[in-house]
Amino acid sequence: MSTQQQEPESQESPQDPEMKGTESPQQRRLKEKEEGMVDEHAEEEAEAAGETVHIKVFRYDPEVADKQEPRFDDFHVPFEKGMTVLDAVMYARDEFDSSLTFRHSCRQAVCGSDAFFVNGSQMLGCKTQLSELEQPVRIEPLPHQEVVKDLVVDMDHFYDQMHAVEPYFQDEDTPAASDLEEQRQSPENREKIKMSSRCIWCGACMSSCNIAAGDNEYLGPAAINKAYKFAMDDRESEEIKEHRLRILEQEHGVWRCQTQFSCTEVCPKDIPLTEHIQELKREAVKKNLKFW
Amino acid sequence: MSQSYNRGLIEDFGRWKEFSAGMWAWIFHKFTGWMLIGYLFTHIAVLSSAIAAADGQTMMLAGEQVDAYTGTLQGLESLFIVRVLEVGLLAVAVFHILNGIRLLMVDLGVGLTAQDKSFYASLVLTGVITVASVPTFMAGVGL
Ligand code: SF4
Ligand code: FES
């Protein structure tokens, strides 16, 4: 197992100057986490005592005849201080079963490829400390998405929804290449869309949303948040904003959100998703409200 | 991709361990909503005995001849189970109203960070109002 340990939490600490002002649900969640868990001392002791962590990993392999029936495999991974869920499954793969399959890349909560369903909740494997979890740690693929193999789910539908909101900057009045100038954004506007721009396309929010689970056409929290980022960006023209709102106010757009807050609670980047969806609902109403 | 495994809704929900305030609020809101719709039909059914009463239909209640509407209502009200159901109905209605106000606030973007607290507050208030209503609802019921 790699000795390199990153501290993904530090990036997201509640003291983050980006997150001043009133306490968001995410901040509160982080605070609770910091207060209640990760007891450094206990971690060191566990490590010194040579303890192992018991993980139960969901297994499914369509290509091997006797592995087509989903099951859970148990692994006992030697505990190391600061070990994350991802570290544990990597150890299990490297030392015990090389066929164990999962996605990962950056190992620092940036690439969004290792969202798992750990102990009944969606989280990023590389951002979740094993010491915070109850044992045995159940590691499963994201719910409501088809399982391709072991912890790997089919993300096509999620990406389709993300692309459906045209997630790229559009401006009709983009200056001609010859007289290109900077497209400046006001600090206030930057502040407004900052959180929404943090999405790493991990799909945890979509997987946690019961509405999305019941309605395959629902754009879902991540896609709506992506649309929010652009719709609220002052540099796009009014017409484009209208066009974006038209996409969002469709039957399977923002109105499908029933404010369960599950997405907001699981988002590893602490994006206030429900808040953004509600704001877009209000924008859509404002656009259509006529007093005559 | 050769083949994939679809766990299906039931299996997926079966795995759920972490129910959050927002999700419980959603489930309770749906549940109480359906209960209220169900009650409306019962209500209409009971009220329709007024039509029978207007047509001059009567019934015997405790040895007395009363009109169909009075008889139906008095007959129901004398049952313990109906009184209990009435307390339940009040609880359902109060929660639905309080959570409805909470949802309105959420929609308006007010107090989003306190969405879980407002859910718990709705629950507590519902409990208090329901308990306080018991003496009134249970007054004079023949067990
Ligand atoms: S909004 Fe959050 S949970 Fe959803 S895909 Fe983006 S980073 Fe992941
Ligand atoms: S490995 Fe990149 S987000 Fe976890």
Q: What is the CA radius of gyration of chain B?
A: 22
Please report whether residue B124 resides in a domain. Answer: yes
Which residues are CB-contacts of A243 (< 8 A; sequence separation ≥ 6)?
A: none
**Parent domain of A257:** 154-170+188-291
Are residues A159 and A210 both part of a single domain?
A: yes
Which residues are CB-contacts of B99 (< 8 A; sequence separation ≥ 6)?
A: B25, B28, B29, B32, B119, B122
- What confidence tier does B111 reach under pLDDT thresholds 50, 70, 90? confident
Return the pLDDT at A108: 93
Please report whether residue B48 resides in a domain. Answer: yes
Residue of B3, B16, B103 with shortest CB distance to A62: B3
- Gap between the terminal Cα atoms of chain A: 68
In this structure, the strands spanning A137-140 and A115-118 are antiparallel
CA distance linking residue A114 with residue A78, whole number of Å: 21
CB atoms within 10 A of CB B64: 11
Please report whether residue B33 resides in a domain. Answer: yes
Are residues A193 and A283 both part of a single domain?
A: yes
Q: 203-232 in A: which are within 8 Å (CB) of B?
A: 210, 213-214
Please report whether residue B93 resides in a domain. Answer: yes
pLDDT tens, B71-109? 999 889 888 899 999 999 999 999 999 999 999 999 998
Q: Mean pLDDT per 10-residue run, chain A (292 residues)? A: 41 41 54 61 74 92 84 93 94 94 95 94 94 92 91 95 92 64 85 95 94 92 96 89 92 92 94 95 87 72
Are residues A115 and A239 both part of a single domain?
A: no
**Parent domain of B125:** 22-137
Please report whether residue A175 resides in a domain. Answer: no
Return the pLDDT at A8: 42
Which residues are CB-contacts of A107 (< 8 A; sequence separation ≥ 6)?
A: A6, A86, A126
Sign of CA dihedral A161, A163, A166, A167: positive
Distances (CA, A) of B124 to B31, B90, B127: 18, 14, 5
CB-based contacts of A60-68 (< 8 A; 24+ apart in sequence):
A60/A147, A60/A149, A60/A150, A60/B5, A61/A99, A61/A101, A61/A149, A61/A150, A62/A148, A62/A149, A62/B2, A62/B3, A62/B4, A62/B5, A63/A149, A63/B2
Return the pLDDT at B93: 97
* Span from the CA of A236 to the centroid of ligand 2 (angstroms): 31
Sign of CA dihedral B89, B91, B94, B95: negative
Return the pLDDT at A167: 92
Which of A91, A124, A152 represents a domain boundary (last residue)?
A152
- A243 by Cβ neighbours in 10 Å (0-12 / 13-18 / 19+) ranks as middle
Return the pLDDT at A237: 85
pLDDT tens, B33-55? 999 999 999 999 999 999 988 88
Please report whether residue A261 resides in a domain. Answer: yes
Return the pLDDT at A12: 41
Are residues A142 and A243 both part of a single domain?
A: no
| A259–B26 CB contact, under 8 Å | yes
Please report whether residue A26 resides in a domain. Answer: no
Q: CA of A276, closest CA in chain B: separation in Å?
A: 9
Most B CBs within 10 A among A121, A205, A257, A259, hence the mutation to make, goes to A259
CATH number at residue A88: 3.10.20.30
| A278–B112 CB contact, under 8 Å | yes
Residue of B5, B17, B26 with shortest CB distance to A147: B5
Are residues A284 and A160 both part of a single domain?
A: yes
Enumerate the β-bridge partners of residue A247: none
| Closest residue of chain B to A28, computed from CA coordinates | B113
Return the pLDDT at A15: 41
The number of the ligand 2 atom at minimal distance from the alpha carbon of A111 is 2
Question: Average pLDDT, whole number, for chain B?
Answer: 87
Determine contact: A25 vs chain B, CB below 8 A: yes
Q: Is the pLDDT of residue B13 over 80?
A: no
**DSSP states of A184-232:** ---HHHHHHHHGGGG-----HHHHH-HHHHH-TT---HHHHHHHHHHHT
CA distance linking residue A158 with residue A207, whole number of Å: 9
Please report whether residue B105 resides in a domain. Answer: yes
Are residues A101 and A137 both part of a single domain?
A: yes
Are residues A164 and A127 both part of a single domain?
A: no
A-chain residues within 8 Å CB-CB of B9?
144, 213-214
Are residues A164 and A258 both part of a single domain?
A: yes
Return the pLDDT at A6: 41
| A147–B113 CB contact, under 8 Å | no
Return the pLDDT at B15: 61
Determine contact: B100 vs chain A, CB below 8 A: no
| A259–B106 CB contact, under 8 Å | yes
Return the pLDDT at A174: 62
* Span from the CA of A51 to the centroid of ligand 2 (angstroms): 26
User: Residue A266 CA to chain centroid, in angstroms?
Assistant: 7
Are residues A195 and A217 both part of a single domain?
A: yes
CATH number at residue A215: 1.10.1060.10
> Could you tell me the two tokens for B17?
């361990």
Q: CA of A177, closest CA in chain B: separation in Å?
A: 41
Q: Which residues of A117-139 are buried (b: 16+ CB within 10 A; e: fewer)?
A: bbbebbbbbbbbbbbbbeebbbb
CA distance linking residue B96 with residue B36, whole number of Å: 9
Q: CA of B83, closest CA in chain A: separation in Å?
A: 33
Which of A152, A180, A196 represents a domain boundary (last residue)?
A152
- What confidence tier does B129 reach under pLDDT thresholds 50, 70, 90? very high
Please report whether residue A246 resides in a domain. Answer: yes
Please report whether residue A18 resides in a domain. Answer: no
B-chain residues within 8 Å CB-CB of A272?
112
| B4–A147 CB contact, under 8 Å | yes
Please report whether residue B129 resides in a domain. Answer: yes
Q: Is the pLDDT of residue B10 over 50?
A: yes
| CA contacts within 13 A on the Cβ side of A171 | 12
CB atoms within 10 A of CB A149: 23
Return the pLDDT at A292: 67
> ipTM value of the model?
0.78
Distances (CA, A) of A96 to A73, A147, A228, A273, B37: 11, 22, 44, 39, 56
Return the pLDDT at A20: 40
Query: What's the structural domain count of chain B?
Result: 1
Best residue for ligand 2 mutational test, from A7, A89, A111 (most atoms within 8 Å of Cβ): A111
The number of the ligand 2 atom at minimal distance from the alpha carbon of A126 is 4
Q: What is the CA radius of gyration of chain A?
A: 21
* Span from the CA of A46 to the centroid of ligand 1 (angstroms): 33
Are residues A161 and A208 both part of a single domain?
A: yes
The number of the ligand 2 atom at minimal distance from the alpha carbon of A268 is 3
CA distance linking residue B140 with residue B78, whole number of Å: 8
Q: Give residue A16's region: left, alpha or beta (phi > 0; psi -120 to 50).
A: beta
Q: CA of A90, closest CA in chain B: separation in Å?
A: 23
Return the pLDDT at A267: 96
Please report whether residue A22 resides in a domain. Answer: no
Return the pLDDT at B28: 94
Query: What's the structural domain count of chain A?
Result: 2
Are residues A159 and A228 both part of a single domain?
A: yes
> Could you tell me the two tokens for A189?
């506007």
Are residues A119 and A160 both part of a single domain?
A: no
